[in-house]
A and B are shown apart, each in its own frame.
Chain A
Amino acid sequence: MRCKRCGNTDPSYFYKGHKGYYCRKCIRFSRILLEEEILPLDYEIAQGSEVYRFDYPLTEPQLEASRNCVEFLKHGDVLLYCVCGAGKTEIAVQSISEYLRRGLKVAYAISRREVVIELTKRFEKIFSKAKVTGVYGGHHDELTGDLIVCTCHQLYRYYQTFDLLILDEADAFPLKGNETLMNISVNACKGRVVYSTATVDSTLRKVINRRPFRTVELYVRPSFKPLAVPRVFYLPKYPALLVLYLLLRKIDGQCIVFTTSKKDCEVFYRIFSRFFSCTYVYADLPERKRHIEDFRDKKYRFIFATTVLERGITIKNVSVIILNFARIFDQSNLIQMLGRVGRGTDSVAGDAYVISDHSDPEIRKTLKYLKKANSYL
């Protein structure tokens, strides 16, 4: 027995109901019977939708990478392996345009709902003549369009539909370590897949290795500035707080402090709000949107955050302090967090610090990666 959608073969996950056997591993995406035929979604691409235009010119390395991407897609899947803030979206645009010209179906999948809303607007500007449809939780009445931007969880609606699927942040939550969702995402596509990421973990490696693929590498940001290499302190938890206080006194400009848990985030906010103007944010907080907006508007100098602020956020001239207690963060987390520093074309590079209470191989790996990426400049 094998589930068509999630590829599960473990017999203990199949349950016999009134209509026959069904897979319980992917049950939260609606029931799929074992004998059921799943039909791919059929729709037409409007002509002339491939025209695209950027408001700003791309740099030479970006153009070369996007040419490579188009070329490699003729032969197999592509792994777009770029540093943070290198402009992965812009590189994929030429390939999307190429596929739309041929009248083939394209989707751009990304993990978070807020990012989908933002990207839909951005793609509407870039592809001015195409109809861009955003599909996310609570907004899925319309499933067709020329270009589909959706969250990974919505990809179960499209079985074997797309000719080109771009999986952005393929190493991030919720795809990270979740093979069921990964299989559902890849099964939504009958043609080529572009995995775009800054780090490759074991689950992703396993999925990619099933089919032939080639790698497009880009280690240079459009601003041609080096990635921030952090200063690392190894300290126990309470002395670390003292050092954090001293650091926050020294840093000028805004700063994001990443903590390992919600509880830490709130406790540190309570302590440090006595000394500095600061705020906090984590995923379950009802007013998190307002807190982030306030921080963007420079009402506060410091923000205490969990991994919610790890991806897809651009704040100019910001510094980063990572409090890595009990080895919670791994390499991809650390690289993404450090990638918040020095984004945007005209921003001044901020400082980066890591405070850890254990000696950690993940930190050593991160430092090695950053040095390698900077050597390409």
Chain B
Amino acid sequence: MRCIYCDKEIGKITFTSLFLEEDSLCPDCRRMLPIKRKCITLDDLKVESFYEYEGMFKSLLLQYKECCDEALKDVFLYGLKDYIRIRYAGYALLFVPSSQKKKQIRGFDHLELIFEDIKLPKAKGLRMKEDLIQEGKNAVERSRMRQNYVYEGELQKKVLIVDDVLTTGSSMIGAYEAIKGKTRHVRALSLANKNYHFPFKNKV
């Protein structure tokens, strides 16, 4: 088997590897993608993030999203799937939508594909009012995303909002505002965070 990122041959089966989930990254690449769990409070929404948006994670996510490389879908949640399933049991996943234009080019929804294997109910119905792209914009322009989401339809009592990267938190809060009042308990999850953007106090 070859490493999915650096094309290096992965070694033979070892004794410990029998007990672990099969990894498509080689040990060297995996070492460069350390999990740094962090809890961030945005207004009154608690967000959990797993990685820092830099180095290896950045290049992997760019290859996955911009070059449309679907083969990388299992890389991000390696060893975290069981944790999410148990920690957030009873929650329904609500994905923050990306713009329709990008979705059409890609041909797949990048977040849904990553969380495909996790057996939690998925809520659908969140959509954007305007088709905006956040890439390469500053904080003021990004803050428009706060009023840009609408939710149509029913919701469960507990909802988990899921996004890929937390930069200023605008889109996360936008999604939170859209479902406020329709449900009782809301938590959020993002794969990575750009931690230098947060003036708020962080709890580990």
Contacts and interface: CB of A to CB of B under 8 A. Distances in A.
User: Interface size for chain A: under 10, 10 to 19, 20 to 34, or 35 or more residues?
Assistant: 10 to 19
A12 B2 CA distance: 9
Nearest to B71: A15
B63 A17 contact: no
B70 interface: yes
Interface in B82-129: 107-108
Contact of A17 (B2, B66, B70): B70
Interface stretch (A22-30, A242-250, A297-305): A22-30
Contacts of B70: 15, 17-18
Contacts of A28: 63, 67
Contacts of A31: 67-69
Contact of B107 (A12, A18, A27, A29): A18
A139 interface: no
A19 interface: yes
Contact of A24 (B66, B71, B107): B71
A30 B70 CA distance: 12
Nearest to A30: B67
Nearest to A29: B67
A27 B67 contact: yes
Contacts of A22: 68
Contacts of B68: 17, 22, 30-31
A22 to B, nearest CB: 8
Nearest to B4: A24
Contacts of A19: 107
B107 A17 contact: yes
Interface in A73-104: none
Interface string A233-271: 000000000000000000000000000000000000000
A60 to B, nearest CB: 49
Given A18-B107, A18-B108, A19-B107, A27 B2 contact: no
A18 B63 CA distance: 16
Nearest to B1: A12
Contacts of B2: 12
A28 B69 CA distance: 9
A24 B67 CA distance: 10
Contacts of B107: 17-19
22 contacts: A15-B69, A15-B71, A17-B68, A17-B70, A17-B71, A17-B107, A17-B108, A18-B70, A18-B107, A18-B108, A19-B107, A24-B71, A27-B63, A27-B67, A27-B69, A28-B63, A29-B67, A30-B66, A30-B67, A30-B68, A31-B67, A31-B69
Interface of A: 12, 15, 17-19, 22, 24, 27-31
Interface of B: 2, 63, 66-71, 107-108
